[in-house]
Structure 1
Amino acid sequence: MLGLVLVGMAVGYPCAAIALFITQSWIAALATLSLSGMLAMLGLGLRLAVIPDDPARPAG
């Protein structure tokens, strides 16, 4: 769970900085931070949930 939060922060903060630089609006930056961080967390979480475990190889 902590890994997902860190991914959300790693993606969200740079996106918010870019939005703040472009729009000069703190509200747009906060909205971008929330949305991009949430999407990054959901994307990674779904990817981890969908990847099947490595099946055991048969001996021999």
Structure 2
Amino acid sequence: MAHLLGGMLFLLALMLRTMHASRDAVRSLVFIRDPYRHRQLRMLNIYWHFIDALWVALFGVFLFLY
């Protein structure tokens, strides 16, 4: 549960930074082209796909066990 909460907090922080950057066209362009931000989005994408696969696997295991 702590991993899910941590991921949601990171997602919220990234969303707030993106919303703040989208108010100005120049800031938005710099934000999009920043390799650090791109890496953060890629890491978040990998993390959420891992969590999805983990929940599906756990659901399958518990479904077949009981």
Comparing both structures, which one devotes a greater share of its residues to helix?
Answer: 2
State TM-score, norm by structure 2.
0.44
State TM-score, norm by structure 1.
0.48
The structure with higher relative contact order (CA 8 Å, sep 6+) is 1
Higher gyration radius (CA): 1
